[in-house]
Amino acid sequence: MDMIESHTAHANNNNRYLFVCIGHDNFGIPIGSVKEVIEYTDTTMIPMCSTVIKGVINVRGSVIPVLDIQNRLSLKKTLDYDRYSCIVLYEFIDEVIGETVTVGMLVNSVVSIEYIIDDHLESSPSFGSNIPRQYVWKMAKLHNRLTTLLDMSKVLDINEINALLKTSQDIFFTDYCKL
């Protein structure tokens, strides 16, 4: 049995990951909550937003906020978005409001879907990562290298994102009032 098997070999979504390129690195996202991957489209900017929020898009009548994941992960070396860029629609339950929320995540490209057995998961290192540690769930041995699996509950922490938004708006209004 191969260490990493094709996504068609297993139906268990708990060990399947969508690997995406964000900036210069690949990251794994649990596929169970990935609703859809769509072509990158221009977003409608939201005034006074932090750089984490790229804007909103309309997907079949629903307005979906789109996060710039390079900025959310605080990557120092970023890449421009291009024709290979995609928006990953990720669905989760917001515990505060008790409702299902869909958020778009702008990524540089989709790399693959992989099945990873538990034996190939390792704890995240305490240092040496190029993203803040709270966003790292585990490391996975993938094609003879270690790849970061994201902790999506932290990456998509609505309370933290809203706090960033509020701080951004406070700064805007403070600067505006100084004029």
116-152 per-position pLDDT tens digit: 988 888 887 666 567 888 999 999 988 888 899 999 9
Which strands, in side-by-side order, build the sheet including 86-94? 34-39, 86-94, 99-107, 62-68, 53-59
Q: Residue 131: its pLDDT value, please?
A: 87
Residues 22-43, mean pLDDT to the nearest whole number: 94
Position 45 pLDDT exceeds 70: yes
CA 151 to chain centre: 9
Position 4 pLDDT exceeds 50: no
Position 43 pLDDT exceeds 80: yes
Q: Tell me which amino acid residue 9 is.
A: A
Position 80 pLDDT exceeds 50: yes
Position 6 pLDDT exceeds 90: no
Q: Find the Cα–Cα–Cα–Cα dihedral 45, 95, 129, 69, rounded to 10°.
A: -20
Q: CA angle, 78 as apex, 37 and 76 as ends, to 5°?
A: 130
CA 67 to chain centre: 8
Q: In CATH, which of 2.40.50.140, 3.90.1150.10, 2.40.50.180, 3.10.129.10 is domain 4-178? A: 2.40.50.180
Cβ contact 150:135 at 8 Å: yes
Beta strand 62-68 pairing with 53-59 = antiparallel
Tokens of 6: 């094709």
Mean pLDDT, the chain, rounded, equals 85
Residue with tokens 């240092």: 127
The tally of CA atoms less than 13 A away on the side-chain side of residue 43 is 24
Residues 55-65, mean pLDDT to the nearest whole number: 94
Q: Residue 77: its pLDDT value, please?
A: 83
Q: Tell me which amino acid residue 65 is.
A: P
Position 110 pLDDT exceeds 60: yes
Least confident stretch, 49-58, 106-115, 165-174:
165-174
Higher pLDDT, 10 or 134: 134
Beta strand 16-22 pairing with 25-30 = antiparallel
